[in-house]
Amino acid sequence: MGAVVEAARGWLDRVFLWTGYLAGALFFGLAFFVTYDVLARKWGSLVGLPTTRVTDEISGYILVLAATWGLAYTLRTDAHVRIDVLLPHMPPRLRALADRLAWLVMAAFAALVAWRIWILVEDSWQTGIRSSTYLLMPLWVPQVILGVGFSLLAVAAIVSMIAGPSDAP
C-alpha cells in the first residue's frame, strides 16, 4: 500500500508542479498583456497600435486560472503564508498534529467551495448564461476553471495531510 500511495503522491506533485508553473507563466504574460493595452490606449492612436477592448474580461479569466490553479502547488510546497506564533514553541508531535488539523480544515473548505462551484457550473451550462461583455463568454468556462482550481486545492490538502509537504521546489 505504501508504494501505491507514494506513486500517487509523486504523480499528483507533478500535476501540482505543472499547474504552479502555469500559474506563474500566466501572471507573467498577463503583466505584458495589460501593459500593452494600457500603452495602446494611451498612445496607440499616434502610432497605430490597436487596443484589445477585452483586457478587463480576459485578465479576469487569467487571474482566476492563475490564482486558483497555483493554490495547490503553493500548499504542497509549504509556501502559504501562515502566522506561526505558537507553532515553534510546540513539541514536534503537537506541531505535526496542528499541521494535519490545518490541512484537514483546508481540505474541507476547498471541497465545500469546489462542490458549490460545480453546482454553479451545471446551472450555467443548462441555462446557457453568458457574460454581458464584449466576448459574450459562456459563464461555465471561467466557472470550470475555478472549480478545477479549488478541486486541486482540496486534493493537495488531502495529500499533504496524508504524506506531509512535498520536497518539490
* Chain segment 8-64, per-residue pLDDT in tens: 888 998 999 999 999 999 999 999 999 988 888 888 777 777 888 888 889 999 999
Give the residue carrying C-alpha cell 509537504: 165
Taking only the tens place, the pLDDT of each residue in 58-112 is 999 999 999 999 999 998 888 877 777 888 888 999 988 988 998 999 999 999 9
* pTM for the model: 0.87
pLDDT of amino acid 139: 95
Position with higher pLDDT, 168 vs 5? 5
Give burial (CB, 10 Å; 0-12/13-18/19+) of 31: exposed
Position with higher pLDDT, 122 vs 79? 122
Rounded CA gap, 38 and 136, in Å? Answer: 22
Mean pLDDT of 116-134: 95
Residue 114: pLDDT above 70?
yes
Torsion over CA: 58, 61, 63, 66 (sign)? negative
Q: Report how far apart the first and last C-alpha atoms of the chain are (Å, whole number).
A: 26
pLDDT category of residue 147 using cuts at 50, 70 and 90: very high
Which residues are within 8 A (CB) of 59 and not within 5 positions of it... i.e. 6 or more apart?
30, 33, 34
pLDDT of amino acid 140: 96
pLDDT category of residue 149 using cuts at 50, 70 and 90: very high
Position with higher pLDDT, 116 vs 6? 116
pLDDT of amino acid 106: 94
| Neighbour count for residue 113 (Cβ, 10 Å) | 18
Interior angle at CA 169, CA 149 and CA 155, nearest 5: 30
**Is 60 strand, coil or helix?**
helix
